[in-house]
Amino acid sequence: MPNYARKRDTNEREIIQALQQLGCLVIQENNIDLYVLPPNREAFTPLEIKTPTGRLTPYQKQLHQTASEMYNFEIPVIVTVDEALRELGFIS
């Protein structure tokens, strides 16, 4: 991974707290912001957190493209708590 200045998006803490209140295990990483294991699930879900004006770095764009093309897997880009809850199936 290239040496980009690593900063956490301002909305990340709020999203983490909401997920933890629902019993999720949340792991913060660098390649992808969060790996979330909801209760009663057997697999982590990766979430990329961005602010409303945030953009993926070139490295992140490549990572998302590789996941999509090689593994037919989309990494969700999340801005709000509701988006995270929807992605994880807590709300529809």
**Span 23-61, pLDDT tens digits:** 999 999 988 999 999 998 999 999 999 999 999 999 999
All structural domains of the chain with their residue ranges: 12-87
The pTM of the full predicted model, rounded to 2 decimals, is 0.86
Q: What is the per-residue pLDDT across 57-90, written as a single tens digit (0 to 9) for each? A: 999 999 999 999 999 999 999 999 999 999 999 9
Q: State which CATH number among 3.40.1350.10, 2.30.30.90, 3.20.130.10, 3.40.120.10 fits the domain covering 12-87.
A: 3.40.1350.10
CB atoms within 10 A of CB 43: 7
